[in-house]
Structure 1
Amino acid sequence: MTVLWAERALLPEGWAENIRVTLSPEGRIAEVTPDAAPEGQRFGLLLPAMANLHSHAFQRAMAGLSEAKGPEPRDTFWTWRQIMYRFLDHLTPEDVEAIAALVQMEMLEAGYATNVEFHYLHHQPGGAHYDNIGEMSARIAAAAARTGIGLTLLPVHYQFGGCDRRGLGAGQVRFGTTPEDFARLLDSAEAAIRGLPDAGIGVAPHSLRAVSPEGLAFCAALRPDRPIHLHLAEQVPEIEEVSAAYGLRPVEWVLENCAPDARWTFIHLTHMTEDETRRLARTGAVAGLCPITESSLGDGIFNGTVWAAEKGRLGFGSDSNIRISLTEELRTLEYSQRLRDRARAIYATREGSTGRVIYDAGLDGGRTAAGRETGAIAPGLWADLCAVDVDNPVMAGRGGDEMLDSLIFAGHDGLVRDVWSGGRHVVREGRHMDHDRITGDYIACIRRLQERM
């Protein structure tokens, strides 16, 4: 048994002091004892670690390559997407594994314990399958075996170039799957994660543009007890295309045809009407928010105040991985609401501060989206934990919810001291256990890419 002791910790019932947490050899939390005498490894502040509910790992390697003015009069998500398509055509399976390892390491060092990977880069350049159709999924699993992160792998079904069922464009053929291909790929991906002690599978029909209504139903039926994720209502042209094809806006169509519930996670949701927001929030589905990426791509601002009024569930993901920072994701969500509404403390309630409310929400939404027994410091759950340094100017003199507010709004991820994922002590004193080798492999990968490009 591993014993941790913290001066303060966030437990399901609230803040507690002098807490002993015992971890089982299987990586679960065995026992939680408040008001305990110091013993074992000692920390100032212990938090449940969050799941990063939406990531495209390979995009990390193109961070910083899309900030120059392009040939179009106005640069948008759609011009960025063309840069991404050109970039990914150079990636090999070895590259993807090296990039994914860096992404997962950076997630852990930021305080996340789980990577929910929305994985759609499946095939060779030109679209031919690898001998193992799940080769690229196996590379994500191999990266997780190296980094020790908890993994929920979401292979993506991506069949069409638009709602009219046109063929995939040149930049999309590496994603392409027929329903039959996708079923085989999902089986292969599930086999790849079996060697990981706490990994899980899910399904991800990419979007209403890339998957037909019957294809969406097919995906939902493949693993009926596992999470299903879908990009939804991210961009205005997407809404216009879906509306023209189906006679309903994307969220309206999902509400009418999919009976969404807590199994569903909808990514972005940056363009919903108030009625759509209220109705979808009431279903129990999770809003998968990626505020840094949504800011980077100019997606829009999530209708967070209306969603919160309906007690809608939400979680956080790093999506394009242009910057992996848990504190910045949470801060950017709150600040986007403040800028739009010209107010402060938008998410705060009478019961909890802004930081406490959004951190609790992220734990709940991340747990649900990952389909993982996590999200609290409680017996029986996976030991997904984050210790925060309190001996610094940011945290000095803070207690209760003020600790989370100071961490999120005045602090940074560098205050994360130690992280455990499934009981594995993967970050110690701010650094991943294999930081130097993973970073070196990534830099070598980028050099090879530069030579090929």
Structure 2
Amino acid sequence: MNASLHFATALLPGGWASDVRIRIQDGLIAEIEPGVAPGDSERHAVALPGLPNLHSHAFQRGMAGLAEVRGHNDDSFWTWREIMYRFVDRLTPGDLAAIASQAYAEMLESGFTRVGEFHYLHHDRDGRPFADPAEMSSAIMGAAEETGIALTHLPVFYAHAGFGGSAPGEGQRRFIHDVDGFAKLLDAARAEAKALPDSVVGIAPHSLRAVTPEELAALAPLANGAPIHIHIAEQAREVEDCLAWSGARPVEWLLDHAPVGPQWCLVHATHMTEAETVAMARSGAVAGLCPITEANLGDGLFPAEAYLAEGGAYGVGSDSNVRIDAIEELRLLEYGQRLARRGRNLLTAPGQSTGGALYGAALAGGAQALGAEAGLRVGAPADIVSLDAAHPSLAARSGDALLDGLIFAAGREGADRVWRRGREVVTDGRHIARDAIAARYRATLAKLLA
């Protein structure tokens, strides 16, 4: 895809610049020229680099809102999980593709241009492997191809129901592998992913409760330098169970027993001591934060201030996809901290823009976690979000004040166009294939929920 786009202002790696022409060749940024006239380039107002969504379970978009009826006992992640198991029992590869396409179109509309798909739905409905071990991964890749979103695919290793290697439950039958079977899945997924531009295939040990120490040690080399993601310390009960099993808390145990570093993304890490928070930040790993889902499930709040004080990196993800909104993830991340601390502008340095800090951190940390490039730079994919300068909440703003207006006032309605590899996939806030994708999604849900 070749094009020449001109923006009145653009957020470049070195900061904001005016009158920026971006020349795109074969989907990549070939040239960036600040301070030039538009000439015959296509004109727009404000350019931002697209955000990475570092944690998604695409199929869960289909159950959004289905777990909002109060049970007879206290509701929690664990009661929500039982509803998820019942929903996942029904899905065919075609169903998964339809749901993932809806989720990915909505991600692009909100400003996410790459998704980290933490994918654990591997087998047929009876739990037997498909003839092609990557059958369900192929459905995910088909949705990425249809919508245009960049994909970091993270096949999940899941072997046990709890700490200490306990046998998996019936509701987990579609997830389960041994190490040899998982290696075959990885090989097949990597072969499939070669057809997708800019694709990355990493690995994801599901959680410490789903892998044994021996399995975790065997899995890390299979990543071959690609990203390694793991759920960790999301719920208080998980921490209690880990202490009972090992005498250590989850993040503490992982940092002591695995080669955690910049290749790793620790998803949630909600329940940490001060010592764990400091150690995780200093490890170089990325914290994968999903504020909308963490609020929906009642998980708790990540200790963001203390983590950032130690130089920790983070990105954001849409996780359960109960609501897909890149801007709201950033807003809720800051607002959660404000409610807990009863203060304001907590996730930035004195005198600095909170919106600018949030966007910059999520861009850099998300790209690191997904094994991708960050920002509008020569040689990178042309993944660009443009803002609607006519939106009332962006009026008379410039520089980081645009990001403050976007995140805390305009929301996703402030974004009007998205280019992925130079192809315009969102126009006036709508994905170019939204009608067809939504029609197929509605038909799929009508069948699944009948």
TM-score (norm 2): 0.98
* Structure 1 counterpart of 2:94: 94
Unpaired runs of at least 5, structure 1 = none
- Contact map agreement 2:46 2:388 (CA 8 A) in 1: yes
TM-fit CA distance, 1:348: 2.3
- Contact map agreement 1:117 1:153 (CA 8 A) in 2: yes
TM-fit CA distance, 1:351: 5.8
Equivalenced residue count is 448
What pairs up with 1:25-424 in 2 under 5 angstroms?
Answer: 25=26, 27-39=27-39, 40-71=41-72, 73-350=73-350, 352-373=352-373, 375-424=374-423
What per-residue deviation string (whole Å, max 9, x for no partner) do you get for residues 348-368 of structure 1? 213631010010000001111
Unpaired runs of at least 5, structure 2 = none
Q: Secondary structure at the match of 1:414?
A: helix
TM-fit CA distance, 1:22: 0.8
* Structure 2 counterpart of 1:3: 4
User: Which residue identity does 2:55 align to in structure 1?
Assistant: H
Report the Cα distance in structure 1 between the residues aligned to 2:219 and 2:253, rounded to whole angstroms: 17
- Contact map agreement 1:53 1:316 (CA 8 A) in 2: yes
Q: Secondary structure at the match of 1:412?
A: helix
- Contact map agreement 2:416 2:427 (CA 8 A) in 1: yes
Report the Cα distance in structure 2 between the residues aligned to 1:327 and 1:306, rounded to whole angstroms: 23
- Contact map agreement 1:163 1:208 (CA 8 A) in 2: yes
- Contact map agreement 2:393 2:405 (CA 8 A) in 1: yes
- Contact map agreement 1:198 1:422 (CA 8 A) in 2: no
User: Which residue identity does 2:176 align to in structure 1?
Assistant: G
- Contact map agreement 2:204 2:229 (CA 8 A) in 1: yes
- Contact map agreement 2:334 2:347 (CA 8 A) in 1: yes
TM-fit CA distance, 1:164: 2.4
Q: Secondary structure at the match of 1:38?
A: coil
Report the Cα distance in structure 2 between the residues aligned to 1:175 and 1:321, rounded to whole angstroms: 19
Report the Cα distance in structure 1 between the residues aligned to 2:372 and 2:176, rounded to whole angstroms: 28
Q: Secondary structure at the match of 1:226?
A: coil
Report the Cα distance in structure 1 between the residues aligned to 2:316 and 2:92, rounded to whole angstroms: 28
TM-fit CA distance, 1:310: 0.7
Say which is worse superposed, 441-450 or 292-301, in terms of deviation. 441-450
Q: Secondary structure at the match of 2:416?
A: strand
Runs of 4+ residues over 4 Å off in structure 1: none
- Contact map agreement 2:385 2:415 (CA 8 A) in 1: yes
What per-residue deviation string (whole Å, max 9, x for no partner) do you get for residues 279-334 of structure 1? 11011100000000000000000000001101100000000000000111000000
Q: Secondary structure at the match of 1:355?
A: helix
Report the Cα distance in structure 1 between the residues aligned to 2:236 and 2:146, rounded to whole angstroms: 40
**Cα root mean square deviation, aligned:** 1.0
Report the Cα distance in structure 2 between the residues aligned to 1:355 and 1:47, rounded to whole angstroms: 13
TM-fit CA distance, 1:429: 2.0
Q: Secondary structure at the match of 2:74?
A: coil
Q: Secondary structure at the match of 1:408?
A: helix
What per-residue deviation string (whole Å, max 9, x for no partner) do you get for residues 27-74 of structure 1? 111111111101312111100111100000000000111000113x21
Identity %: 49
Report the Cα distance in structure 2 between the residues aligned to 1:392 and 1:228, rounded to whole angstroms: 39
TM-fit CA distance, 1:444: 0.6
Q: Secondary structure at the match of 1:32?
A: strand
Q: Secondary structure at the match of 1:69?
A: coil
TM-fit CA distance, 1:200: 1.0
TM-score (norm 1): 0.97
Report the Cα distance in structure 1 between the residues aligned to 2:173 and 2:422, rounded to whole angstroms: 39
Say which is worse superposed, 185-194 or 135-144, in terms of deviation. 185-194
Report the Cα distance in structure 1 between the residues aligned to 2:334 and 2:410, rounded to whole angstroms: 15
Report the Cα distance in structure 1 between the residues aligned to 2:371 and 2:351, rounded to whole angstroms: 28
User: Which residue identity does 1:160 align to in structure 2?
Assistant: H
Report the Cα distance in structure 2 between the residues aligned to 1:310 and 1:353, rounded to whole angstroms: 19
Q: Secondary structure at the match of 1:144?
A: helix
Report the Cα distance in structure 1 between the residues aligned to 2:422 and 2:159, rounded to whole angstroms: 38
Q: Secondary structure at the match of 1:210?
A: coil
